[in-house]
């Protein structure tokens, strides 16, 4: 834990300023206010299903992050580089494609539609989150991350530190599981008609769903903490953390507010650690642990719990 504290301290000494952090805090505060207090209760701030509008939704936090850091630290040479614009377009395309998942359709058999849609969305997200970084890697060969696929390496990965972080978070997850807004969102999959239709126990379909859910977070960490941070650092250095965190917060606007707020701090910490160590394995470990922990605690609140 001490090591991570020093990583953060060094990051803010080199890439932080009071005015920059204040500006980002005001932007996020206004964004959260609009999403959770002004918008109609039945409509998520993120719930814009047309491609241009959803793309524009992510353009805002991304370029607030890029422009804010560029102005604060007088970095402007990257604006003239075509590779920056190609990279930015690819970064913004990923959450747009993920938000426009095409698997919400009838699969022909009513009993399994719900299960198939849920698993398909996770697999769709995994392909989108990891596929576009792979395409950019092949196109531009971003060294040195072509050898580790944007931080997929166990080098500098400290199991003890991340296990301790996970243990610290468990009481917070347990507390969150008693909130009504939490239980409206989790668990992400509930046993339904598929189990009797296939004649299988509920733990089997739930386990299959949770596996696809975990795979999604592996790909998500590759994209946010690996692809955005490492590829964009070629132009912004450590400042690449800021647009990553802002976009990451925005993808949580369909989730309960405490989770969305936590994504800011979690994204910042995991991004700084990934940039410092060159590995995204810590983020994968924490993200999967938190996600599955929320699922388990949510199931524990339900009658006839599987756990």
Residue-range domain boundaries for the chain: 2-300
> Where is average pLDDT lowest: 97-106, 163-172, 200-209, 227-236?
97-106
Residue 163 has pLDDT above 80, yes or no: yes
End-to-end CA distance of the chain: 31
Residue of 147 and 252 predicted with greater confidence = 252
Nearest to 271 by CA among 216, 235, 214, 232: 232
Predicted pLDDT of residue 153: 87
**How far, in whole angstroms, is CA 64 from its chain's centroid?**
18
Q: Residue 104 — pLDDT band, cuts 50, 70, 90?
A: low
Residue 242 has pLDDT above 90, yes or no: yes
Contact 158, 4 (CB under 8 A): no
Contact 306, 203 (CB under 8 A): yes
Contact 246, 61 (CB under 8 A): yes
Nearest to 86 by CA among 42, 137, 38, 41: 137
Give residues with Cβ within 8 angstroms of 185, minimum separation 6. Answer: 255, 256, 259
**How far, in whole angstroms, is CA 137 from its chain's centroid?**
20
Residue 1 has pLDDT above 50, yes or no: yes
Residue of 38 and 220 predicted with greater confidence = 220
For residue 39, the surrounding DSSP H or E stretch is none
Return the residue matching tokens 């701090």.
Answer: 265
Predicted pLDDT of residue 43: 44
pTM check: above 0.85: yes
Q: Residue 42 — pLDDT band, cuts 50, 70, 90?
A: very low
Distance CA 126, CA 128 (A): 6
Distance CA 35, CA 127 (A): 28
Contact 132, 90 (CB under 8 A): yes
Contact 279, 154 (CB under 8 A): yes
């Amino acid at each position: 834990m001490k090591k991570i504290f020093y990583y953060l301290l060094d990051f803010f000494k080199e890439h932080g300023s009071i005015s920059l952090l204040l500006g980002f805090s005001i932007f996020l505060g206004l964004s959260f206010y609009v999403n959770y207090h002004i918008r109609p209760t039945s409509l998520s701030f993120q719930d814009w299903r047309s491609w241009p509008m959803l793309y524009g939704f992510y353009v805002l936090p991304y370029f607030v992050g890029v422009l804010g850091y560029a102005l604060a630290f007088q970095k402007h040479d990257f604006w003239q580089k075509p590779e920056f614009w190609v990279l930015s377009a690819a970064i913004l395309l990923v959450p747009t494609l993920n938000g426009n998942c095409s698997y919400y359709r009838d699969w022909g058999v009513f009993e399994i539609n719900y299960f198939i849609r849920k698993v398909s969305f996770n697999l769709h997200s995994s392909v989108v989150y990891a596929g576009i970084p792979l395409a950019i890697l092949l196109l531009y060969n971003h060294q040195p991350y072509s050898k580790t696929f944007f931080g997929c390496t166990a080098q500098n990965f400290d199991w003890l530190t991340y296990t301790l972080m996970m243990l610290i978070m468990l009481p917070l997850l347990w507390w969150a599981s008693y909130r009504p807004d939490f239980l409206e969102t989790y668990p992400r999959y509930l046993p339904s008609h598929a189990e009797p239709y296939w004649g299988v126990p509920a733990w089997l379909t739930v386990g299959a769903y949770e596996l696809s859910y975990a795979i999604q977070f592996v790909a998500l960490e590759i994209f946010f903490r690996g692809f955005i941070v490492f590829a964009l650092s070629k132009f912004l250095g450590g400042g690449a953390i800021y647009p990553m965190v802002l976009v990451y917060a925005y993808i949580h606007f369909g989730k309960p507010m405490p989770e969305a707020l936590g994504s800011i701090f979690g994204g910042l910490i995991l991004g700084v650690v990934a940039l410092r160590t060159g590995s995204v394995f810590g983020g994968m470990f924490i993200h999967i642990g938190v996600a599955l922990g929320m699922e388990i605690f949510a199931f524990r609140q339900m009658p006839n719990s599987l756990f």
